[in-house]
Amino acid sequence: MNFEQLNQHVFGDRLASRWPSSMSRRGDDMAMSALRAQKKALRKDFTARLARVTEAELAAQSQRVTEKLFQTPSYVQAGRISCYTSLSVGEIRTDAIIRDALARGKAVFIPYCPPESKTIMRMLRLLDVHAFDELQANRWGIRELASDRQSIGGEALDEDAMLDMIIMPGLAFDQARNRLGHGRGYYDRYLDRCHALASRTATHPPLTVALALTEQMSHTPLPVDEHDRKPDMILYAGT
């Protein structure tokens, strides 16, 4: 509920309409900064919690979640998938997934965040397993295609081609499938592009599958803003 709706709720239509709009805008701004502060505190908590997950635990959960994905019919059927390249801590490992998808002949795309932008993420095609083995860690330690390879395999949404599935990371998730990321809105913006393309070309947007460690599942509801898109499915070791 925003400030205007709250006024409406508490004071009814006539009184609410007397509040100057600058006042309700200020209320919205205050709600936004409270939400941002809340997200920031949660990111700190989850980052600390995830740093304590042992290597053995991470490997075991990654294997369990990977098996679950392999048993998911929409994964088996997907011809074009995007998958994140996992960090060494705090995320379900995706190496086995990427290798499997390439071996099955799927078109595989991985995220590329150009350093000149703080908001744009592209999905670049990983042509084969050799390209995967040669990936270099970027400024955040995330494996990406080097810039000289960028044009080789093309981009996922080039020529209006849609993705069938997006396998996405996150920092925390809740029971209502809300997702808290690292705070750049990369995936929310990318999904906006997919949805715009889907409506323009009368196709379906990709199925979004988030992979989570049990330590990433929040017992309390996460804060959400109007841009946040829920993944269609969350796979974690507990389910």
Ligand X SMILES: Nc1ncnc2c1ncn2[C@@H]1O[C@H](COP(=O)(O)OP(=O)(O)OP(=O)(O)O)[C@@H](O)[C@H]1O
Ligand Y SMILES: Nc1nc2c(c(=O)[nH]1)N(C=O)[C@@H](CNc1ccc(C(=O)N[C@@H](CCC(=O)O)C(=O)O)cc1)CN2
**Binding site for substrate, residues?**
91
**Tokens standing for 61?**
């959960």
What gap in Å lies between CA 29 and CA 125, rounded to an integer? 40
- Which residues share a beta bridge with 172? 180
Q: Select from ligand X, ligand Y, none the partner in contact with residue 188, using the beta carbon and a kind-dependent cut-off of 5 to 8 Å.
A: ligand X
What gap in Å lies between CA 38 and CA 223, rounded to an integer? 7
Q: Which of 3, 46, 84, 173 binds ligand Y (CB under 6 A)?
A: 84
User: Shortest gap between Cβ of 11 and ligand X (angstroms)?
Assistant: 28
Q: Interface with ligand X by CB under 6 A: which range of 11-19, 45-53, 108-116, 180-188?
A: 180-188
- Contact between 142 and ligand Y by CB under 6 A: the answer reads yes
- Contact between 225 and ligand X by CB under 6 A: the answer reads yes
C-beta separation of 23 from 31 below 8 A:
no
Q: Interface with ligand Y by CB under 6 A: which range of 9-17, 52-60, 180-188, 230-238?
A: 180-188
Q: Select from ligand Y, ligand X, none the partner in contact with residue 225, using the beta carbon and a kind-dependent cut-off of 5 to 8 Å.
A: ligand X
User: Shortest gap between Cβ of 121 and ligand Y (angstroms)?
Assistant: 6
For ligand Y, the closer of residues 86 and 216 by Cβ is 86
Whole-angstrom CA distances from 134 to 87, 126, 151, 200, 215 are: 16, 11, 16, 36, 31
Q: Any alpha helices (H) in the chain, and if so which ranges?
A: 3-16, 21-51, 55-70, 73-77, 95-103, 129-133, 150-153, 186-201
Tokens 């590329």 -> residue: 112
Q: Interface with ligand X by CB under 6 A: which range of 107-115, 135-143, 178-186, 202-210?
A: 178-186
Per-residue interface string for the shown chain with ligand X, residues 189-208, x marking contact by CB under 6 A? x--x----------------
- Contact between 111 and ligand Y by CB under 6 A: the answer reads yes
Positions touching ligand X (CB under 6 A) are 39, 180-189, 192, 225, 227-228
Positions touching ligand Y (CB under 6 A) are 84-87, 91, 111, 113, 121, 140, 142, 169, 181-184, 186-187
